[in-house]
Amino acid sequence: MGRKFFVGGNWKCNGTTEEVKKIVSVLNEGQVPSSDVVEVVVSPPFVFLGLVKSSLRPDFHVAAQNCWVKKGGAFTGEISAEMLVNLDIPWVILGHSERRLILNESNEFVGDKVAYALSQGLKVIACVGETLEQREAGSTMDVVAAQTKAIADRVSSWSNIVLAYEPVWAIGTGKVATPVQAQEVHFELRKWLFANTSPEIAAATRIIYGGSVNGANCKELAAQPDVDGFLVGGASLKPEFIDIIKSAELK
Ligand SMILES: O=C(CO)COP(=O)(O)O
């Protein structure tokens, strides 16, 4: 199929300098499949990007966890896409549910961010996902389609986007989606891309799963045909992240 397996580690708002150095040294020693087989991207908090970038093995890459919606300027506390490009940070995570829900980022705002980051040359891990309430109301597909549409409406190319399906009820809860639940939404998202972007984009875009992924449950999830990798939170701070990267071998 030609979709290279993708494993992202979202460190969220965690870590001290010492802890970051430890995580990097575990990653640097890890035996993992070659970068022909798996693309690995870790996303430390902004303040550690430089440290991680300068000490991380060259076959792994770094991502910021957010960036400003347009050109930088008088936006206190924000980090612009231009700054990330200037620091040679290739990736950015946008639309994470923690930002959508806690910081009230709307679908449109996230779509604007994705379009602007791409226009500056960044690659984007764009996150979508429903809450438990929305799942129980039967609106999972409507929610993730609306989130995806707000991106699709604003971008012309998907070649630098990885779509991360992260059901909110599975994030940090230990309640992982079953492989069947994950496959079902990934399949529907690919179908949505097929109908609303192009067959080529649907076939080529990596759709990765996030939400309580760990070293034990990753294999069964990775075996699903439309699961092209993972966005890992808690377990990306631990040595088991290496085991999750190795699940690429199952593809
Ligand atoms: O939000 C996530 C990754 O972006 C998932 O977090 P957990 O793996 O800790 O559930």
In angstroms, what is the span from residue 74 Cα to ligand 1's centroid? 31
Which pLDDT score is estimated for 249? 95
Tens-digit pLDDT profile for residues 23-53: 999 999 999 999 999 999 999 999 999 999 9
Which pLDDT score is estimated for 1? 53
Cβ of 210 below 6 Å from ligand 1: yes
Cβ of 166 below 6 Å from ligand 1: yes
In angstroms, what is the span from residue 209 Cα to ligand 1's centroid? 9
In angstroms, what is the span from residue 188 Cα to ligand 1's centroid? 21
Question: Which region, left, alpha or beta, applies to residue 29 given φ > 0 means left and ψ of -120 to 50 means alpha?
Answer: alpha
Is 166 a known active-site residue? yes
Q: For residue 184, what is the enclosing H or E element? A: helix 179-196
Full-model pTM: 0.98
Cβ of 129 below 6 Å from ligand 1: no
Residue 86 has pLDDT above 80, yes or no: yes
In order of start, what are the domains of the chain with their CATH numbers? 5-24+38-250 (3.20.20.70)
Tens-digit pLDDT profile for residues 63-75: 999 999 999 999 9
Residue 182 has pLDDT above 70, yes or no: yes
Cα Rg of the chain, angstroms: 17
Tens-digit pLDDT profile for residues 12-25: 999 999 999 999 99
Question: In the chain, what percentage of residues exceed pLDDT 70?
Answer: 100
